Structure 1
Amino acid sequence: MKIGIIDYGMGNLLSVEQALKRLEVEVVITANKEQLQLMDALILPGVGAFPDAMKKLQQAGLTSFIQATTKPLLGICLGMQLLFEESDEVTATKGLGVFSGRITKFTNIPRIPHMGWNDLQFVYKPSWLTALQQERFVYFVHSFYVSDMKQKELVAFANYYDVQVPGIVVKNNFTGMQFHPEKSGQFGLFLLQQWLEGVKKC
């Protein structure tokens, strides 16, 4: 199985690559659409500011490719946020619009960013998730979160003070994880492996 990591100049590419290799997956890091089209599934990573990331995706000619893909695609951290309609980070910026919802900054909270380990609460299990472990802590690092999303697309969330932070979202072939599964220990790797098993079934 070949997984394509979309390289648009912003992302934790090496840590995602190493996690996938530990799961014995062939990994290709590229911005080339022809190469990405040959992959079994895609991962959209991301670290940094939303407007910068959207600009780089547009410059690489990848926005319409991502929007139109029918391959399983996993967005991680900022990569998940880019899949939504719009973000307030720095300046109002349109996203890829795969999911409905807005990226909003945490307000009236003692500690920003939301950084560290938090417990995922599952609303339901998507088709690729066959089981759940008792320990469900994952690693978050972000100052903005998804608001006003469709509840039917929410798989799991974490409570940060009085804010319900969407942690996993799913719509059709698209999955998003706000946390970093590649940095989330055994449970993070378990979730990645479960998603990969779902890709195989597709």
Structure 2
Amino acid sequence: MDEQQRETGPVRVLIVDDHPLFREGLKVALESAEGVNVVGEAETVAAVPEAVVQCRPDVIVMDLSLPDGSGLDATRRLAEQELTAPVLMLTMADDDGSLLAALQAGARGYLVKGAGRDEVLHAVRTVAAGGAVFGAEIAGRITSLLAGTKLREAGQLFPTLTAREAEVLALVARGFDNHRIARELVVAEKTVRNHVTHIFEKLHVATRAEAVARARDMGLGEE
């Protein structure tokens, strides 16, 4: 199978994103190409498994940040339920931590929003055909991320975090609550809450449990 229209029919795409205007724009862009059909849409992690069963997509184009969790959670749930439609992440997050977490969750592709129509189409067709594809701006980082020893420093894994936020995330990954973190860092508990809020925003997660999962995927919290 190659990137041309498959003998069995057009590539069937499920779009998972919580922004209606973005979904509509992506749908128009994909369906403007021959041999690509958008067969369904979903807005939440919870809705993905049923949408996959109903729509039977060849590829899922998934955002990392969803209202009830992460595209990483959705990807893991698909694997747990033996729903094997391949996932192409299309997200605003371009940090190394998000990229590595997506790879570990089983995503077959990773593009940053803002990629051109032709790049997205190429990625959709490649992933649907069983390949893997990554945006040009991040492909060169994959080898260094996966080779050798796993990075352990939160600041290296999540470069969008400040040094203090990285410290807080490392303690969150160890299961510490805000009160315990405040004692460890000798700061006010309100300050810790503010740091946690900023961490959620920067990692595109919605819950503490998800932040812990992201951090532990990277090897944090094992002390």
Question: TM tier, shorter chain?
Answer: 0.3 to 0.5
Report the structure number with the largest CA radius of gyration: 2
TM norm structure 1: 0.34
In terms of fraction of residues, the more helix-rich structure is 2
